[in-house]
Amino acid sequence: MRQRIIAGNWKMYKTIAEAEQFANAVKQAELSATVEKVICAPFTALSALSAILKGTEIKLGAQNVHFAEEGAYTGEISPLMLKELGVDYVIIGHSERRQYFNETDETVNKKVKAALQHGLKPIICVGETLAEYEANETEAVVRRQTEAALQGLSAEQVSVSVIAYEPVWAIGTGKSSTAENANQTIAYIRHVIASQFDQDTANAVRIQYGGSVKPDNVAGFLQQSDIDGALVGGASLTVEGYLGLIAGASTK
Ligand SMILES: O=C(CO)COP(=O)(O)O
């Protein structure tokens, strides 16, 4: 049985003070132990959050990482720096980074390998654009992105990774995919992994859905056969929203 995982992707929101306020509020709450809980915060807030959340079940994630340990890469953050901050997960290949910052399937693969090499668990984002969806290219796109991201990994490394299927047309729009359609695409991604590696690895890897997930729809996604969690933007920014997502993900 795969453990459910809810990750909040705060994107470029929350100053350190706002992040501290959020963390101090959430750590007071009774949280379901069955769901793995992650907050992917801006780099600037990671140190403060690490101190506040130490000893709680809430894990820290980053939203990007460079593939080099160090070097002349102005503005970048290395896996070593994230590990030093107590970060467990790192989002790699988010569609906003593919769209605005030239992230490619090749750089995603390099970053995934570097993250795993330094003990970070990648949350690897795949998903089609609206144009690709309307052209019935969803499966071709997620196959290409998944195979490229996982190329050269061991079965064990894939098993500890997380994939996030995020149809770009559902991100920030309020128009999520249906639970059934999301499950169909995620089952296809699992099939791709079974072909690239083996069925046991495909059965072990956790695959999230992301794209307008809210406390009032998260349970519907998690009740699907192949969906193991959610990667959530907007709804994870408030304490009430984040707690609601955890509660919704805890229902059978
Ligand atoms: O991009 C997302 C998470 O990485 C989804 O964002 P929303 O939940 O705001 O649609």
pLDDT of amino acid 31? 84
Q: Where are the alpha helices (DSSP H) in the chain?
A: 16-26, 46-53, 79-84, 95-100, 105-117, 130-134, 138-150, 155-160, 179-196, 199-204, 218-222, 239-250
Q: Which of 96, 103, 128, 166 is catalytic?
A: 166
Residue 63 CA to residue 94 CA, distance in Å, equals 8
pLDDT of amino acid 70? 98
* Residue 37 contacts residue 246 (beta carbons within 8 Å): yes
Q: Which atom of ligand 1 is nearest to the CA of 235?
A: 8
* Residue 159 contacts residue 110 (beta carbons within 8 Å): no
At which residue do the structure tokens 């052209």 appear? 135
Rounded to a whole number of angstroms, the distance between the first and last alpha carbons of the chain is 13
Residue whose CA lies nearest to ligand 1 atom number 6: 233
Q: Which residues, judged by CB distance below 6 Å to any ligand atom, belong to the binding site of ligand 1?
A: 9, 94, 166, 171-172, 210-213, 231-235
Does the predicted TM-score (pTM) go above 0.90? yes
pLDDT of amino acid 113? 98
Low-confidence ranges of the chain (pLDDT < 50): none
pLDDT digits (tens, 9 = 90+) for 45-79: 999 999 999 999 999 999 999 999 999 999 999 99
147: Cβ–Cβ under 8 A, 6 or more apart, which residues? 192, 196
Say whether 149 sits in a helix, a strand or coil. Answer: helix
118 tagged catalytic: no
Structure tokens at 2: 């795969």
